[in-house]
Amino acid sequence: MVKQSDVLKGINKMIADAYQTHPVYVHKCPKDFARPSFLLEFIRRSQIDKCKLSVEKTLYFTITCFTELDKHSNADPEELADIQEDVIQLFTQGYVLAGDRAIEVKASTGGMDDDRAYIDLQFEFFDNRTEKEDTTPLITSVNTRIQEV
């Protein structure tokens, strides 16, 4: 079974390996965070039943890219676009390692503000259903009575 935290760790590792001097914050940025840096956030998860033993899961994450700011608290748009494209290129292999699985990923630009750029990640995969073991006692004997009419 793949957990969302496994996928998050895989994404984090890819970014941290590629940008060793840039911090990667997970879920929240501190008040006075370092720039350049990244923020990795889990957005949502959906699940569709496929059969008794399998489900199809879709996980959504956002990576926010921060670059240096000018005196007006704006980032250079070309620099933001470049880092956004470079981060998307990290995912062109088509998968992220999550535990012992390689989970398919789709990456797209998610827009840009004056001081940050966004990348949206979508993961779709099949996983085992996590049902609890049935502990209902088994029938040990059956008594029948036949009546003639």
pTM: 0.84
pLDDT of 31 strictly over 70: yes
**Residues with Cβ < 8 Å from 50, sequence gap 6 or more?**
56, 126
d(CA 145, CA 79): 84
Diameter over CA atoms, the chain = 100
| pLDDT bracket for residue 70 (50, 70, 90) | very high
Q: What class, spelled out in words, does domain 4-128 have in CATH?
A: alpha beta
Indicate the DSSP class of residue 128: E
Checking 78-82 for CB contacts under 8 A at 24+ apart, the result is 80/112, 80/116, 80/117, 81/112, 81/117
42-51, 66-75, 124-133: segment of lowest average pLDDT: 124-133
Which amino acid does the sequence have at 9?
K
**Overall average pLDDT of the 104-114 stretch:** 94
**Overall average pLDDT of the 48-61 stretch:** 93
pLDDT digits (tens, 9 = 90+) for 72-102: 989 999 999 999 999 999 999 999 999 899 9
Among the residues of 62-145, which ranges form H helices?
77-90
Instruction: Return the structure tokens found at 131.
Output: 């049902």
Indicate the DSSP class of residue 138: P
pLDDT digits (tens, 9 = 90+) for 32-47: 999 999 999 999 999 9
